Amino acid sequence: MPDYAWPPMDKRRTIGKPIARLDGGLKSSGRAKYASDFNRADLLYGVIVTCPHAHARVVSVDTSAAEKMPGVTAVKVISAPGTEIQWAYTEVVGIAATSEQIARDAARKVKVNYEVMQTWCGKKMCPRSETAPRLPVSKSRAIRIKHFRKRTRWSKGNTAFR
| Predicted confidence (pLDDT) per residue in 79-117, tens digit | 999 999 998 999 999 999 998 899 999 999 999 999 998
Measure the CA–CA gap between 7 and 19, rounded to whole angstroms. Answer: 19
* Mean pLDDT value of segment 14-24: 84
The larger pLDDT score, comparing residue 29 to residue 152, is at: 29
Domains and CATH numbers, the chain: 41-127+139-147 (3.90.1170.50)
Measure the CA–CA gap between 82 and 87, rounded to whole angstroms. Answer: 15
pTM over 0.95: no
Q: Would you put residue 55 in left (φ > 0), alpha (ψ -120 to 50) or beta?
A: beta
Quick check: 75 and 66 in contact, CB under 8 A?
yes
Strand partners, 116: 56
